[in-house]
Amino acid sequence: MRDDDRRLDATDRGASDGGGIAIPDVSAGLIDRSIYSDPDIYQLELQRIFARAWNFMCHETQIPHAGDYFINYIGEDQVIVVRGADDKVRVLLNTCRHRGNALCRAELGNTKTFVCSYHGWTYGLDGALIGVPGKADFYRNAIDQAKWGLAPAAQVDHYKGFYFATLDPAAPCLFDYLGDVGRVGIESMLNEGDVVSLDGVQKNVIDCNWKIAVDNLFDWYHVKVSHSSASSVGFLNQRLMMPMTQMVMLGELGHAIGGPMVTAEQQAKLDALSDAERLAIDRLADAERAKATPVERRPLRTTATREAMGPVGVRAIGHPNIFPNLWISTRGLQLSLRLPRGPGRTEIWWFTVMPKSFTDTQRRAAKKFITHAFGPAGLLEQDDGENWSQSTRSSHGVASRRYPHNLQMAMGQDEVLVDPSGQKRIETRVNEHAQRWTYRCWAEWLRARDWPELLATRSPAPTGRI
Ligand code: FES
Ligand code: FE
């Protein structure tokens, strides 16, 4: 059976889904445009990707005290991430068990209980139903409160302070889920040790399919054209994009890193510096820094970070994506979630983290750069968003949707190199390896009926010619 002929039977999708769904074959680097507009595929993504994956929730410093909570999403399910009186972080579906009302309406805060605004059912920080108005008079005490607590996520865990949750009890543990490539991505934010989350998450909605936005984070081909205006006003230095020295790391289950690299020769020079010297260079203004090192603007990794990231990971200074939708961006200071809101809509969230050790001056400079780069006011996101939106729109047309997207750049042209440490990478030029890998894993997630099947059928991280 060919991939594009494969159909899932109705049992995959629940009784009301009404038939099978064809998952397009993406192995030739051609992407059927239906995946950006088909409502059935979108529903399957919610079920088989978002409800199954470990989804990023928040950083520990966003909820430091008992009663602190933060609202996020797993797919389209809204969840409350809350620190209990026992200091444990829980993730609870934000829907009252009585009539389903959204329980918590604030985006974040501190509370002792969650009280429903409809009929007043009251829940504790652990999700237990602790108050039912009229319990004696109206229910005649015939309600078992223990059975009507808020629904919890199946698993909640963190990696070095970054909290994730999954709705699937069969999902592997977070550490294994992230794998080497996912962990390298998170470690890239920890160059100066502990970080703190800044107040405020920038949020905006773009009329695009979420995968178009994810595809773009690995795309160093568009920078020169899409962001030419940012270059012309001096915000973006095209030379720093290093299109001819790129590295790609591909991790199991769809994690990937793609973009510029530090070459082995450059890394050897950096390794000769002490941590203090590296940090001093990091803090120079860009123009000064450009004179000091061959690798400008990117954090020069400290010894501890180099050990945590490994000899290959430390040279990857491109963009990590933790599958499905968490982009670690902008010098490791920002995380972006691409939250699905229908086949043609995506809510973009920008979290900002900074090393606790940053001085006020550094913090101000970083905030200014970040605000000008991404988020609703960002020069780069405005360029990107327009293209994502128009690319999504063209997936609907009767004629235009017959023509697949082309993701064939550098296909079959490169080699996966395996370091003695076991870390794998492709050293290349601008390419589309990470995008193809993302779509290949995406198709595997959609085809597998459950975690055991996904683990049995997923592609191993590639080796050899790619
Ligand atoms: Fe929440 Fe009725 S819907 S108390
Ligand atoms: Fe861009």
Q: What is the CATH number of the domain that holds 143?
A: 2.102.10.10
Q: pLDDT, tens digit, for every residue of 177-224?
A: 999 999 999 999 998 889 999 998 999 999 999 999 999 999 999 999
Q: Are residues 394 and 270 in the same domain?
A: yes
Residue 332: pLDDT band with limits 50, 70, 90: confident
Q: Are residues 161 and 250 in the same domain?
A: no
Which is more confidently placed, 11 or 427?
Answer: 427
Which is more confidently placed, 275 or 148?
Answer: 148
Ligand 1, atom 3, residue with closest C-alpha: 99
**Inter-axis angle of helices 433-447 and 210-217, to 10 degrees?**
140
Q: Of 231-245, 250-264, 419-433, which gets the smallest average pLDDT?
A: 231-245
Tell me whether residue 45 is in a domain. no
With a 6 Å cutoff on the Cβ, whether 99 touches ligand 1 is: yes
Query: Does the pLDDT value for residue 11 go beyond 70?
Result: no
Q: Are residues 60 and 146 in the same domain?
A: yes
With a 6 Å cutoff on the Cβ, whether 135 touches ligand 1 is: no
Query: Does the pLDDT value for residue 14 go beyond 90?
Result: no
Q: Are residues 160 and 192 in the same domain?
A: no
With a 6 Å cutoff on the Cβ, whether 101 touches ligand 1 is: yes
Distance 139 CA to ligand 1 centre (A): 14
Residue 231: pLDDT band with limits 50, 70, 90: confident
Q: How many domains does the chain have?
A: 2
Tell me whether residue 304 is in a domain. yes
Tell me whether residue 157 is in a domain. yes
Going across the sheet that includes 55-59, the strands are 55-59, 162-166, 155-159
Domain that holds residue 318: 183-465
Q: Are residues 346 and 460 in the same domain?
A: yes
With a 6 Å cutoff on the Cβ, whether 119 touches ligand 1 is: yes
Q: Are residues 162 and 191 in the same domain?
A: no
Distance 67 CA to ligand 2 centre (A): 38
CB contact set of 127 (below 8 Å; sequence gap of 6+): 90, 92, 149, 150, 151, 152
Cβ atoms of residues 139 and 133 within 8 Å = no
Q: What is the pLDDT of residue 292?
A: 72
Q: What is the pLDDT of residue 240?
A: 65
With a 6 Å cutoff on the Cβ, whether 116 touches ligand 1 is: yes
Q: Which atom of ligand 1 is nearest to the CA of 133?
A: 4
pTM of the model: 0.94
What ligand has the least distance to the C-alpha of 119? 1
437 vs 462: CA distance, rounded Å: 9
348 vs 375: CA distance, rounded Å: 8
CB contact set of 220 (below 8 Å; sequence gap of 6+): 241, 243, 246, 258, 259, 260, 318, 430
Distance 121 CA to ligand 1 centre (A): 6
Q: Which atom of ligand 1 is nearest to the CA of 96?
A: 1
Distance 95 CA to ligand 1 centre (A): 9
> In whole angstroms, how large is the CA radius of gyration of the chain?
23
Pairing of strands 415-418, 30-31: unpaired
Task: Please state the length of the chain.
Answer: 466
Tell me whether residue 5 is in a domain. no
Q: Are residues 400 and 367 in the same domain?
A: yes
Residue 78: pLDDT band with limits 50, 70, 90: very high
Average pLDDT over residues 352-376: 88
Q: Say which DSSP state 444 is in.
A: H
Question: Residue 357, SS3?
Answer: coil
Chosen domain end from 105, 133, 167: 167
What ligand has the least distance to the C-alpha of 221? 2
Ligand 1, atom 4, residue with closest C-alpha: 119
Chosen domain end from 132, 167, 202: 167
Q: Of 135-139, 337-341, 383-387, which gets the smallest average pLDDT?
A: 383-387
What ligand has the least distance to the C-alpha of 385? 2
Chosen domain end from 167, 194, 224: 167
Q: Give the helix ranges, DSSP H, for 129-234.
A: 174-187, 210-217, 223-226, 228-232
